[in-house]
Amino acid sequence: MNLIKILSKIPYFKNQIAKVAFEIKYIDPDDAAKMKYSFTTSDGKKWYTYIKPDLIPIVRWNEIETRVMEMTSRVNRETLLEFSKTCEAAAEKKDFLTVARLMGELRERMEMLYDPHALIRIVCAMYVREDQTKSDKIWNEELEEGKFKVIKKDLESGALAFFLIERDLKNVMTFSDTSNGDFQIFEKSILKNQIKQTEVFDKMLQRLRGEITKQG
C-alpha cells in the first residue's frame, strides 16, 4: 500500500487529498462547479471552459450568437464598419466607381466558406483565460482582443489543435447553419486560407480609404 493510500485513511489527510485533486482538475473550489481546464496557449496561459453550455454567462452568449451570425454571413462587424466608412468616404467624393468596386468586392467576400475572424471570436467568448476566471461575467474588450490575437496565432500555427475545441464549438453552434458534419472546414489549412482572404479584403478597404482621404 503506497503512502497516499495510507494517508487517505486518516480523515484530515483524506480531505486535503480530495481538495488538491479538486483544484488540479478545476481552477479552484469556488469555480469548480462551473469550469474545467481545456488547454494552454503558446504564451503559457491556461484556458478553461464551462462544464455545460447553459453555465456560460449571458454576456458571452450574446457575443457567441452575434459572431455565429457574422461567421455564416461571411462578414464580421469590424469589417462591415470599415466597409461602410469606405463607401461613405467614396460617395462624399462622388467617386461612384469606387463604390461600385466595393460592392463587387463585398459580393465576392460573400462566397467565402465562413468568416474566420468571427469563428476565432466565438472561441474567445467560449473559453475563459486564467486571468479572468473571477470576472467571466464582465466583458472586457481590451482583454478579449488580446485573447483573439493569441488564439488566431495558435490556430494558424497549429500550436492549438482544432480537435481540442471542436466538441465545445459544436455545443454552441447547434443553432447555426453549420452542421456537425461540416466541421472539417475549420481544419488548419482551410482556416489559414479563409484568414488570408479576409485580411486581403480588410487591407484593400484600408488602402482605398487612405487613397480617398488623400484626394482632399
Cα 89 to Cα 78, 93, 99, 105, 139: the distances in Å are 17, 7, 9, 16, 32
Residue 59 has pLDDT above 70, yes or no: yes
Residue 55 has pLDDT above 70, yes or no: yes
How high is the pLDDT of residue 24? 44
Over residues 180-206, mean pLDDT = 84
Beta strands, E only, the chain: 35-40, 46-50, 128-129
- Taking CA 138 as the corner, what is the angle to CA 135 and CA 143, rounded to the nearest 5 degrees? 80
How high is the pLDDT of residue 13? 46
How high is the pLDDT of residue 113? 83
Strand, helix or coil for residue 40 = strand
Rounded to whole angstroms, how far apart are CA atoms 154 and 151? 5
Binned at pLDDT 50, 70 and 90, residue 166 comes out as confident
DSSP 31: T
- Per domain, the residue ranges of the chain are 34-214
Binned at pLDDT 50, 70 and 90, residue 23 comes out as very low
Torsion of CA 51, 37, 147, 84, to 10 degrees: -20
Q: If you search the block for the grid coordinates 489549412, which residue do you land on?
A: 189
Min mean pLDDT across 54-58, 129-133, 180-184 is at 180-184
> How much is the pTM?
0.76
Rounded to whole angstroms, how far apart are CA atoms 134 and 148? 19
CA atoms within 13 A on the CB side of 194: 26
Rounded to whole angstroms, how far apart are CA atoms 57 and 137? 6
Residue 91 has pLDDT above 60, yes or no: yes
Residue 2 has pLDDT above 60, yes or no: no
pLDDT digits (tens, 9 = 90+) for 93-135: 999 999 999 999 999 988 888 899 999 999 999 999 999 999 9
How high is the pLDDT of residue 5? 54
How high is the pLDDT of residue 182? 60
Binned at pLDDT 50, 70 and 90, residue 208 comes out as very high
Rounded to whole angstroms, how far apart are CA atoms 110 and 130? 36
Residue 160 has pLDDT above 70, yes or no: yes
